[in-house]
A = this chain, B = another copy of it.
């Protein structure tokens, strides 16, 4: 009885979240510049309406009553629990703060798109300070309502249950283990032959669609487009991934697309019976990232995959059969090249965690107030120098302005990238003995997709990331599988 009311309410909320997802996609992919103000206002109004519908007093009452209700099945009970969790978080935030946050982040993000290109950090101090201030207020509201540390409370919004106390020891292990592995990888790696090019956007998009189709992306329920920053958005039945094309380096967009395809296949693999209900939605962002990195890093940067893909790549781009630059071995050298660089999204999987740890450390200082926005460039430079030996002084475009996240209000999100990398490695190691990856070299991805679907996608939000991981791999989250993978692939052991 009350469960039905909950279900109906969240079906409507899910419908409005569909609108939010599509308008955000459109903003990044289609919207002309002049539409920004109207779009920011529309998204702010929608955020307010959705917030009011979630935090409605009756939702809490219905969820309490549903917890006592008999005759519900496991999924219905899990849905009621998930709704209660979401309700508690929404209830902690006043509507004005939610609306103001939506408006401020939309404007800050729009400004960032222009100002990053101009390397104009000063122009971003004011809008970003506003966003950080609103983030801090949210963290305090959530922390005191949920009895959590404020930064944990933000992180819990992206990966439910994740805490600094779990992450800190893991990140300390990585900070110790990775630097010598980076040195060793750089030391042993061979230089690939230069990649052919340039290639047009249309050529690269044709290649991307070709590979997406082979991996199992369903184009009747999704699209590939171009945006400033690659992402996966939309809806399980209308999953939209984006990329950007570098004419001189087709591997950049190719692997970005393979990454987003992993995200998309998670969405497309969610259980159809639970569309637009909280329990039927994808889980935390660490789990989501594990799906993209499983595809990109574990599967597609392997020599086996590239043996399958090399002729498709060469043919799609009109390459010469006799040119050894197109060989699987050469693509593999390029795809597994390790180097210390400025840009997180261009980083290899060995240096990547250090980019994340830098951001994780700085954003905690922003939230606890020990660092102000004006100090970011200096602090960024100091950590880049310490972790990767590179200075970003005077180059904020490739330093603290490179990522959209903080400018769009995502604080507490960065750690999920590295948690996702660890999870991906752990899942892949667990899947291997079942033989599901045996056909990768022949382009047979069905068994792999089936394993992910039954072990991960099918659970949607009925279980937490940590439950799913433990059931699929028999172990809690750790660094062993990831470090073992790095050691094997990059020749940094025996």
Give chain A's interface residues, CB within 8 Å of chain B. 11-12, 15-16, 18-19, 22-23, 26, 30-35, 37-39, 41-42, 44-46, 48-49, 218-223, 234-238, 275-276
Tell me which of B35, B44, B220, B221 contacts A237 (CB under 8 A). B35
Nearest to A238 among chain B residues (CB) is: B35
Q: Which of B15, B39, B44, B220 contacts A45 (CB 8 A)?
A: B15
Residues of B within 8 A of A236 (CB): 38
Residues of B within 8 A of A34 (CB): 218, 220-222, 237-238
Instruction: With CB as the reference atom, state the residue of chain B lying closest to A46.
Output: B19
Distance from A258 Cβ to chain B, minimum over Cβ atoms (Å): 20
Q: Contacts A19-B19, A19-B23, A38-B238 known; A32 to B221 CB distance under 8 Å?
A: yes
Question: Which residues from B are CB-within-8-Å of A46?
Answer: 15-16, 19
With a cutoff of 8 Å between Cβ atoms, the chain B residues found around residue A16 in the complex are: 42, 45-46, 49
Query: Would you call A220 and B33 a contact (CB within 8 A)?
Result: yes
Number of copies: 2
Which residues of B are found within 8 Å of A15, using beta-carbon distances? Answer: 38, 41-42, 44-46
- 15 A-B pairs whose Cβ atoms sit less than 8 Å apart in the complex: A12-B45, A12-B48, A15-B41, A15-B44, A15-B45, A15-B46, A19-B46, A22-B22, A23-B23, A30-B223, A32-B219, A34-B220, A34-B237, A38-B276, A49-B49
Contact B18 A42 (CB under 8 A): yes
Complex Cα distance, B48 from A22, in Å, reads 19
A-B CB proximity, top 8 nearest: A35-B238, A34-B221, A15-B45, A18-B42, A15-B42, A34-B220, A34-B237, A12-B45
Given contacts A12-B45, A219-B32, A223-B32, contact A237 B38 (CB under 8 A): yes
Task: Give the CA-CA distance A275 to B34 in the complex, in Å.
Answer: 13
Query: With the chains together, A11 CA to B45 CA distance in Å?
Result: 9
State A49–B221 Cα separation when bound (angstroms).
27
Inter-subunit contact A41/B222 (CB<8 Å): no
Cross-chain contact B31 with A238 (CB below 8 angstroms): yes
User: Are A41 and B221 in contact, with the CB atoms below 8 A?
Assistant: no
A19 contacts across to B, CB distance below 8 A: 19, 23, 42, 46
Smallest CB separation, A13 vs chain B (Å): 9
Bound Cα distance A12, B95 (Å)? 14
The distance from the CB of A43 to the nearest CB of chain B, in whole angstroms, is 8
CB distance from A165 to the nearest CB of B (A): 38
Q: How many angstroms from the CA of A37 to the CA of B275 in the assembled complex? A: 11
- Min Cβ gap A7→B in Å is 14
Closest to A33 in B: B220
Q: Which residues of B contact A49 (CB under 8 A)?
A: 16, 49
CA distance A16 to B26 in the complex (A): 15
- Shortest CB distance A176–B (Å): 46
Q: Provide the residues of chain B in CB contact with A276, threshold 8 Å.
A: 38, 41
Chain B residues with CB below 8 A from A223, complex form: 30, 32
Give the complex CA separation of A235 and B276 in angstroms: 28
The answer to whether A38 and B275 touch across the interface, beta carbons within 8 angstroms, is: yes
Q: What's the Cα separation between A42 and B22 when bound, in Å?
A: 10
Indicate the member of A32, A44, A220 with the most B CB atoms within 10 Å: A32
| Beyond A31-B238, A32-B223, A49-B49, 9 extra complex contacts between A and B, CB < 8 Å | A15-B42, A15-B44, A18-B38, A30-B30, A30-B223, A32-B238, A34-B222, A39-B238, A41-B276
The listed residue with most B CB atoms (<10 A of its CB), out of A44, A238, A276, is: A238
B residues less than 8 Å from A26 (CB atoms):
22, 26
A243, B19: Cα distance in complex, Å? 24
> How distant is the Cα of A237 from the Cα of B26 in the complex, in angstroms?
14
Give the distance to chain B from A159, nearest Cβ to Cβ, in Å: 25
Q: Which residue of B lies closest to A18 (CB)?
A: B42
Chain B residue contacts of A221, Cβ below 8 A: 32, 34-35
A466 CB to nearest B CB, Å: 30
A237, B30: Cβ atoms under 8 Å? no
Give Cα A387–Cα B341 distance, bound, in whole angstroms.
73
Distance between A228 CB and nearest chain B CB, rounded to angstroms: 17
A44 → chain B closest CB, angstroms: 7
Complex CA gap A15/B42 in Å reads: 4
CB distance from A429 to the nearest CB of B (A): 33
A100 to chain B, nearest CB (A): 14
Judge whether A222 and B32 touch: CB under 8 Å: yes
Whether the pair B18, A41 counts as a contact (CB closer than 8 A) is yes
Q: How far is the CB of A460 from chain B (nearest CB, A)?
A: 16
Q: How far is the CA of A11 from the CA of B49 in the complex (A)?
A: 13
In whole Å, how far is A104's beta carbon from the nearest beta carbon of chain B? Answer: 16
- The minimal Cβ–Cβ distance linking A237 to chain B, given in whole angstroms, is 5
